[in-house]
A and B are shown apart, each in its own frame.
Chain A
Amino acid sequence: MDSLYLLIPIALVFCVIAIKLLLWAIDNGQYDDLDKEAWRILADDDPPATTDKIEQDTDTDNKP
């Protein structure tokens, strides 16, 4: 049981590191917008439409 004298301080050191990391992340602005980040992972980065389609659309719009 004497190992507790070593293990508990080690656990505390890890805890301090975790808190430091968390505070750094908060100050870095990573938690500023919780709603969007939660949602972003579900969004497609690349929507199905291609740029060609947009060009076609603008072409038809420009027709007199």
Chain B
Amino acid sequence: MCCPGCRAVASMIAGSGLGNFYQQRTAYNERPSPEAAATPEQYLIYDDPELAATFTEPHDDATRSARLLLGGITCAACTWLIEQSLSRLPGVQRALVNLQQSRLDIRYDPSVLPLSEIFARVETLGYRPRPFQANIQRQQMEQEYRIELRRLGVAGLGMMQVGMFAIALHAGDIQGIDLRYQGLLRGVSLIVASFIVFYSARPFFSAAWRHLKQGSLVMDLPVALAIGLAWGASAWATFSGTGQVYFDSVVMFTFFLLLGRFLEHRVRQRHTLTWFDAQSTLPAAVSAQREGQWQSIPRMQLQDGDRVLLKAGDTIPVDGLVMAGESAVNEDTFNGEHLPRSVAPGDTVYAGTVNVEAAVEAQVCGSYRDSRLAALQRSVEQAQTEKPRLAKLADRIASWFVAGILVVTSATGLVWYQIDPQQALWVTLSVLVISCPCALALATPAALTSAASALRASGVIVRTENALEALARATHLVFDKTGTLTEGTLAVARVIPLGQEDEPRILRIAAALQQYATHPIAKAFSEISAAGDFSAISYQVGAGVQGRHNSSIYRMGSEAYCRELSHALAPAPDTDLYWIALCQDQIPLAWIGLSDRTRVEAPAVIDEAIRAGLAVELLTGDSSQQGPLLARQLGITEVNYGMQPQEKMARVRELQARGAIVSMVGDGLNDAPVLGLADASFAVAGATDLARTQADFVIVGGDLGAIISTWHKARQCRRIILQNFAWALAYNLCAIPLAAAGFVPPWAAAIGMSLSSLLVVINSLRLNRRFPR
């Protein structure tokens, strides 16, 4: 148990007799964040029939079906937990969780169970529910998945049929076969194989053609050539009753390749979060003034000029102008800083930031589309289109391969034309079939799938196709500070006693005073047991807190605020830490220095990265001296601080323009655009959903060390891919001369192809071993 969030979830799970979950789960859950958790009241908005109608459907018997998207699902046991827990609620008829899409389909009776209860229940289990909005991209993904599966299934069944006929044909080649039966077997093979070539193998042809039109040679081209030519030659042989047929090789090849690609896609698609955008961090319900009264209305209905009430702890729903009240807003969304900015009437507050201190009234300025948060979302989208596409290893090899094969086959054709014109066509075709790039085409997907599943088992999710290849070639490793290298919360770092009180006593007084505050500073004291009862607590926004205990007045807060009470207070020791003062009446008691604690494993990770020859850099939104200080401690020489999300992007772009391959590690909303832009990016544990959607790798476990082990795995994956290529090419180098000499019958071609593919797959499986630690 690491935090109150976990404790609440664990006691909820055990309390409902669902403790089995802990035996069954295969991956650790994400850590629920106590601050981000929505209160049950926030879900009440979904009981509004109009809003509910956007993601629910009525049935004849007064029940409704709703679809919810769930954030934080990590393994199949999660689906069991959610299904079991929900189906025990009265009014729930059926609850089904789709793991691949993180989607909950639930059928419930709205008269017994309001929708908000379902949301709240899922929330208490530690997952983040939100309405499922059908979107085109997601539907396409689902459609593509089904089509891929159909092609694979058809190819598999067809392969068995053709294989059966092929055994008879091969046996006939060896023992002798009646021409009648040979013709029959070839004929039915042709029918089945044609169906597979035109239905299952179509994506290879269309991809090869698409790229060829753009003038690029990709791996699909030799694949399409091999399938097309082998099928064409075999069809000709069937009709003319001469030569050799290679139908079994054609269908086997198609099936293997489809299987390889299907598995690779599946490993990646399991955790795609393409549905997430910045807007979904905003609350669905806001409290706005309508007809002179505060009413809870859907955020979508807010209009320019509306007055909204922002309570302490709320995420601000729109860009607005503060009209009444004073507070402070935490703007780490935009700058990654955890010290809030004080706001008073006349100041602007931004959507997506959090109001931390006191309730304020604000006037809505403009719609969501004009807000700073929407601008951040647009940068994210822009970053996606700008992301450099490193040429895939396989595609670079493919162009050489195609050229080589064409040269060899034309040479073979020419030579045999001189020797024996009748045999020339068949020998040339057998060279083409033997040189079948099956192992070559499987080399990459097999290795990537294997590496991705090994990484997943150790808590790293690989989300994008090119990520492992890009990471293996990375030259720069760029870190964000707050929440990435540090824990992202303030903690007491130093106490300088000024009076007679000793350190533990000072901390306990401080903790007692801070119990009453909501400021982020108060969290630094939440684990210290408080001493003393304070009365007459008064809280001054942006300054500090004051309380009375045993007839003396204690103050804690900024230098100026405390000096009003005790004039003798010495100035703050230095600027390296964030200092707050504590005083009792006229007597200064202490300076307490707060800082963001560096993650324990961070120094080791940086050390290892530097030793591995990566250029390590720090990019932080924090404009204080904390950034350079941390960099000095960790041995990072290149530091940029006080950077806006756009400036971070500019820095990464500049590095990329110089030819660097940049790997970025971050966590916050403000890191999302730069994560999208970097060649390979990591979102660390506790990262915001938007950062996760943009990152190539998501670290689920809390350990930063996973960055280095992922890097090692990526390098190992690259080595394995190269070995696979080397083997596939070596096989071709041996087999092609034999085929050119006319020594390879179809059965030998089929066996050779399967064996070399098998070898490539087995070699790739070596990646499945866990990190060598």
Contact = CB atoms under 8 A, between A and B. Distances in A.
Interface of A: 1, 4-5, 8, 11-12, 15, 18-19, 22-23, 26-27, 31-36, 38-40, 42-44, 47-51, 53-54, 57
B154 interface: yes
Given A32-B98, A47-B84, A48-B17, A23 B184 contact: no
A35 B161 contact: no
Interface in B187-221: 188, 191-192
B16 to A, nearest CB: 6
B18 interface: yes
B18 A47 contact: yes
A6 to B, nearest CB: 11
B149 A53 contact: no
B142 A54 contact: no
B275 interface: no
A12 B18 CA distance: 49
Nearest to A18: B157
B147 to A, nearest CB: 9
Given A12-B161, A12-B192, A19-B154, A39 B149 contact: no
B54 interface: no
Q: Dominant SS at the A interface?
A: helix
A49 B184 contact: no
Nearest to B164: A11
A47 B16 CA distance: 10
A18 B69 CA distance: 35
B80 A40 contact: yes
A35 B181 contact: no
Contact of B270 (A1, A35, A49, A54): A35
B269 to A, nearest CB: 11
A35 B76 contact: yes
A10 to B, nearest CB: 11
Interface string B69-81: 0000000110110
A38 B17 CA distance: 23
A25 B657 CA distance: 50
Contact of A43 (B24, B100, B184, B270): B24
B294 interface: no
A27 to B, nearest CB: 7
A36 B76 contact: yes
Contact of B184 (A5, A35, A48, A54): A5
B146 A26 contact: yes
Nearest to A29: B146
A48 B15 CA distance: 12
B15 A40 contact: no
B192 A33 contact: no
Nearest to B187: A8
A35 B266 CA distance: 10
A54 B18 CA distance: 11
Nearest to A48: B17
Contacts of B241: none
Nearest to B191: A12
A39 to B, nearest CB: 4
A59 to B, nearest CB: 12
21 contacts: A1-B181, A4-B184, A8-B185, A12-B161, A22-B150, A26-B153, A32-B100, A33-B98, A33-B101, A35-B99, A35-B100, A36-B100, A39-B77, A40-B76, A40-B80, A42-B24, A43-B24, A43-B80, A47-B17, A49-B17, A49-B19
A49 B161 CA distance: 51
B153 A22 contact: yes
Contact of B150 (A23, A42, A50): A23
Contact of B20 (A19, A33, A39, A44): A44
Contacts of B185: 8
A35 to B, nearest CB: 5
Interface string B1-41: 00000000000000111111000100000000000000000
Nearest to B145: A32
Nearest to B24: A43
B97 interface: yes
A34 B612 CA distance: 39
Given A36-B76, A57-B15, A22 B157 contact: yes
Contact of A11 (B15, B77, B161, B266): B161
A15 B84 CA distance: 39
Contacts of B99: 33, 35-36
Given A47-B18, A49-B17, A50-B17, A36 B98 contact: yes
Contact of B17 (A11, A23, A39, A53): A53
Interface in B262-282: 266, 270
Contacts of A42: 24
Contacts of A57: 15
Interface in B303-348: none
A38 B77 CA distance: 11
A15 to B, nearest CB: 5
Contacts of B24: 39, 42-43
Given A32-B145, A47-B20, A12 B157 contact: no
A54 B15 contact: yes
Contacts of B165: 8
A17 to B, nearest CB: 10
Nearest to A60: B15
A50 to B, nearest CB: 7
